[in-house]
């Protein structure tokens, strides 16, 4: 197992997504930079990123749910059409 496979398995095991990893990198970057106009603490920034990530996950779930619903409706229409043809 090379380093990338190990790192990916570690991320998968702990449920670390690329978005959360990006958040962590952003936090490290913020820590290294001296911001002149620092209105937010790092924790507030991280919470904002997590909230944004959660919203994106919810939107994705809603989209997937709509697709499943449409697929089910199509199956029902096809089944009804086949029954109609048999009559």
pLDDT at residue 49 is higher than 70: yes
Q: Who has greater pLDDT, 49 or 63?
A: 63
Residue with tokens 């059409």: 81
Helix, strand, coil abundance in the chain, percent, nearest 5: 85, 0, 15
- Going by pLDDT thresholds of 50, 70 and 90, the confidence category of residue 69 is very high
Residue partners of 35: CB distance under 8 A and separation at least 6: none
Residue with tokens 């229409």: 77
Residue with tokens 């106009």: 37
Q: Where are the domains of the chain?
A: 3-86
């Amino acid at each position: 197992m090379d380093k990338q496979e190990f790192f990916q398995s570690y991320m998968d095991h702990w449920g670390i997504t690329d978005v959360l990893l990006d958040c962590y990198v952003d936090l490290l970057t913020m820590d290294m930079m001296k911001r002149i106009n620092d209105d937010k603490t790092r924790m507030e920034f991280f919470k904002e990123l997590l909230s944004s990530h959660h919203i994106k996950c919810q939107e994705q779930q809603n989209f997937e749910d709509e697709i499943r619903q449409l697929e089910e409706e199509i199956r029902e229409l096809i089944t009804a059409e086949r029954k109609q043809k048999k009559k």
